[in-house]
Chain A
Amino acid sequence: MSVLVYIDHTDGEIKKSSLEAASYGAQLASQLGVAAHGLVLGTLNADLSALGKQGLQKVHQVKNDSLNQFDPGQQAVMVAEAVTSLAATVVVVSNNVTGKALGPRLSARLKAGLVAGAVALPDTSNSFVVKKAVFSGKAFAQVAVSSPIKIIALTPNAFSVSNGDGSAEVADINLTVPAAKIKVTGTNKIKGQIPLSEAELVVSGGRGLKGPENWGMIEELADLLGAATACSRPVADSHWRPHHEHVGQTGGAVAPNLYFAVGISGAIQHLAGVNRSKVIVVINKDPEAPFFKAADYGIVGDAFEVMPKIIDSVKKLKGK
């Protein structure tokens, strides 16, 4: 019996969301009294034995460069085979872009119930119930999984990475590699930026900033904090900022430790994308802006006057 954690990687490194999944899987394994294993498909530069810090005992790897190009159909076959050979009863993946494609395929293949978007460890006292976010973060559901094998896709940034001093045993595993049916023809990554989905801090701007030329202060604050930048829908629709920065009901959903919103009124559709943030700061000159009701801290004031002072103050704090 074991908990098997699918370890997702990019550019030779393990994704932070997979370190969270490994920490989650290891804690679940100790809750169930079983072993915690990791599975890596593809090749990395990272030292896989370091996954012991997150609590994994053993990491199985299929060293094959072609697997670095992601085909969820191909990988589902391989993970399913590993589940059988390692007698895994729970599979943990991150509910990131990879997990959203792999998790459902694996679920259908193994007839294993999937909880997509888990936010906490399961309650295993007399059944298997996992809490997940629903209604775009406006509520949670307790999902009971009835199948013998369970699959949990963990929401990024919902579970902290544990950092113990363990070291995992790393071994090759022999799995059938089916032919890939998806061919990757090009990759376009925005260099030097923190991906929104992985960001712990997010600085976001709205229409109140009046135009793309005024984004300097958003970028400067984000830079100082090591935060990602985001925006509201009207801003993306007006092409002031790229679409991938759009956060909200129809854009991306984020759950950072800090969501710092400048000049965003907080329409319900925007809140749907950010309401799982741990701390929300709102800067808006309209005291009636609905966002203040969802905020933890706020300043009713003109962003153009307030932001430079905040930036100065953060500079002092960071000793810059």
Chain B
Amino acid sequence: MKILVCISKTPDTTAKIAFTDNNTKFATEGVQWIINPYDEWYALVRAIELKEKDPTTVLHLVNVGGAENDAIIRKALALGGDEAIRVNIESQDSFTIASQIAQVAKDGGYDLVFTGKETIDYNGSSIGGMVAELLDWPYVSLATKLDIEGSNAKLTREIEGGEETVEASLPLVVSAQKGMAEQRIPNMKGIMGARTKPLKVVEPVAVEALTSIAGFELPPAKAGVKLVPADNPEELVRLLHEEAKVI
């Protein structure tokens, strides 16, 4: 089996969110970059587990972006995976990114394309579904479990207020979320090994973006907390009822 895991680069979860250039660009100064947690903790780790179960599995990573992403790709390779592919294009809208990944998936003859449920910066939840449509493969989103038996996949996916078990044949696109696997810390052997794993750079296919970001804004600052004395919690209930009108 051949698995392709999509790896996105995002600001660290504690990064300060600010914008420059008249609020059209994210201020990257001083920002620590990480592998998007959903891609790393859930999709990548589960793919590594599948490879541990069946060592004949080929596991590749794909990232869409410039050479500045290589450090993050090496970090992912330190966790596992045989090689990585970077599509050399500044990442634009979801459709552009998905089109590049779909091309890599097509060229590489993969059985499973695996993504996190969303990135923590753009929160689009879009790449998996778009890749699936471009490849005309089935798509199971927000999955919390995945097992492969031959050419058949058994999954659990989230539905409102519960979960559903589903089955689909490979090839398949899956987006993963919490429950799929547990976060791993790379060991020294992995980190050393990652340096020599192949990182192939491929040129992008021509695609026209469908959306663009016209600007960013920060939410209005909170007016500040109204503290109610601990010996008079009834006052809190009154405020929520009469002032905030939420209960």
Q: Which of A109, A146, A189, A317 contacts B212 (CB 8 A)?
A: A146
Q: Which of A189, A250, A306 contacts B233 (CB 8 A)?
A: A306
Q: Which of A134, A181, A250, A299 contacts B138 (CB 8 A)?
A: A181
Pair B236/A100 contact, Cβ less than 8 Å: no
Distance between A281 CB and nearest chain B CB, rounded to angstroms: 7
Q: Which of A95, A188, A246, A279 contacts B246 (CB 8 A)?
A: A279
Interface segment out of the listed A23-31, A54-62, A164-172, A290-298: A290-298
A81-96: CB near B (< 8 Å → 1, else 0) gives 0000000000000011
Q: Does B178 contact A (CB under 8 A)?
A: yes
Q: Using A190-B162, A297-B236 as known contacts, say yes or no to A107 and B95 having CB atoms under 8 A apart.
A: yes
Distance between A238 CB and nearest chain B CB, rounded to angstroms: 14
| Alpha-carbon separation in the docked complex, A198 to B161 (Å) | 9
Pair B246/A257 contact, Cβ less than 8 Å: yes
| Chain A residue nearest in CB terms to B183 | A250
Pair A108/B161 contact, Cβ less than 8 Å: no
Pair B168/A250 contact, Cβ less than 8 Å: no
| Alpha-carbon separation in the docked complex, A123 to B140 (Å) | 33
Pair B125/A116 contact, Cβ less than 8 Å: yes
Interface segment out of the listed B59-67, B72-80, B187-195, B237-245: B237-245
Pair A313/B212 contact, Cβ less than 8 Å: no
Pair B211/A139 contact, Cβ less than 8 Å: no
B residues 5-21 touching A (CB-CB < 8 Å)? 11, 13-14, 17, 19
Q: Using A101-B141, A183-B166, A187-B164 as known contacts, say yes or no to A298 and B246 having CB atoms under 8 A apart.
A: no
Interface range, A side? 35 or more
A residues 294-316 touching B (CB-CB < 8 Å)? 294-302, 305-307, 309-310, 313-314
Q: Using A96-B160, A136-B120, A313-B233 as known contacts, say yes or no to A115 and B217 having CB atoms under 8 A apart.
A: no
Pair A116/B124 contact, Cβ less than 8 Å: yes
Interface segment out of the listed A33-41, A42-50, A69-77, A211-219: A69-77
Q: Does A278 contact B (CB under 8 A)?
A: yes
Q: Which of B37, B124, B223 contacts A249 (CB 8 A)?
A: B37
| Residues of chain B with a CB closer than 8 A to A136's CB | 120, 123
Interface segment out of the listed B50-58, B106-114, B128-136, B196-204: B128-136
| Chain A residue nearest in CB terms to B227 | A298
Q: Which of B127, B162, B215, B226 contacts A296 (CB 8 A)?
A: B226
B residues 125-163 touching A (CB-CB < 8 Å)? 125-134, 136-142, 144, 154, 157-163
Q: Which of A95, A108, A251, A272 contacts B13 (CB 8 A)?
A: A272
| Residues of chain A with a CB closer than 8 A to B129's CB | 72, 100-105, 107-108
Interface residue tally for chain B (C-beta within 8 Å): 82
Q: Does B218 contact A (CB under 8 A)?
A: yes
| Residues of chain B with a CB closer than 8 A to A140's CB | 216-219
Q: Does A141 contact B (CB under 8 A)?
A: yes
Q: Does A12 contact B (CB under 8 A)?
A: no
Q: Does A10 contact B (CB under 8 A)?
A: yes
Q: Does A162 contact B (CB under 8 A)?
A: no
| Residues of chain B with a CB closer than 8 A to A249's CB | 13, 37, 120
Q: Does A210 contact B (CB under 8 A)?
A: no
| Residues of chain A with a CB closer than 8 A to B136's CB | 73
Number of A-B residue pairs at CB separation under 8 A: 277
| Residues of chain B with a CB closer than 8 A to A306's CB | 230, 233
| Residues of chain B with a CB closer than 8 A to A104's CB | 94, 98, 124-130, 132-133
| Residues of chain B with a CB closer than 8 A to A246's CB | 178
| Residues of chain B with a CB closer than 8 A to A268's CB | 13-14
Q: Which of B41, B138, B165, B234 contacts A313 (CB 8 A)?
A: B234
Pair A189/B162 contact, Cβ less than 8 Å: yes
Q: Does B82 contact A (CB under 8 A)?
A: no
| Alpha-carbon separation in the docked complex, A194 to B169 (Å) | 33
Q: Does B90 contact A (CB under 8 A)?
A: no
| Alpha-carbon separation in the docked complex, A194 to B162 (Å) | 10
B residues 30-71 touching A (CB-CB < 8 Å)? 37-38, 41
Pair B227/A299 contact, Cβ less than 8 Å: yes
Distance between A317 CB and nearest chain B CB, rounded to angstroms: 6
Q: Which of A95, A103, A114 contacts B210 (CB 8 A)?
A: A114
Distance between B217 CB and nearest chain A CB, rounded to angstroms: 5
| Top 5 A-B pairs, shortest CB-CB distance | A104-B129, A301-B230, A113-B210, A195-B161, A189-B162
Q: A100-B117, A101-B129, A298-B228 are in contact. List 5 more A-B contacts (CB 8 A).
A: A138-B17, A141-B215, A181-B168, A243-B178, A317-B241
Q: List 14 A-B contacts (CB under 8 A).
A: A97-B141, A104-B126, A134-B216, A140-B216, A141-B215, A144-B213, A181-B169, A182-B140, A185-B167, A278-B246, A279-B246, A296-B244, A314-B247, A317-B237
Q: B residues within 8 Å of A by Cβ?
A: 11, 13-14, 17, 19, 37-38, 41, 93-95, 98, 117, 120-134, 136-142, 144, 154, 157-169, 178-179, 209-219, 222-223, 225-230, 233-234, 236-241, 244, 246-247
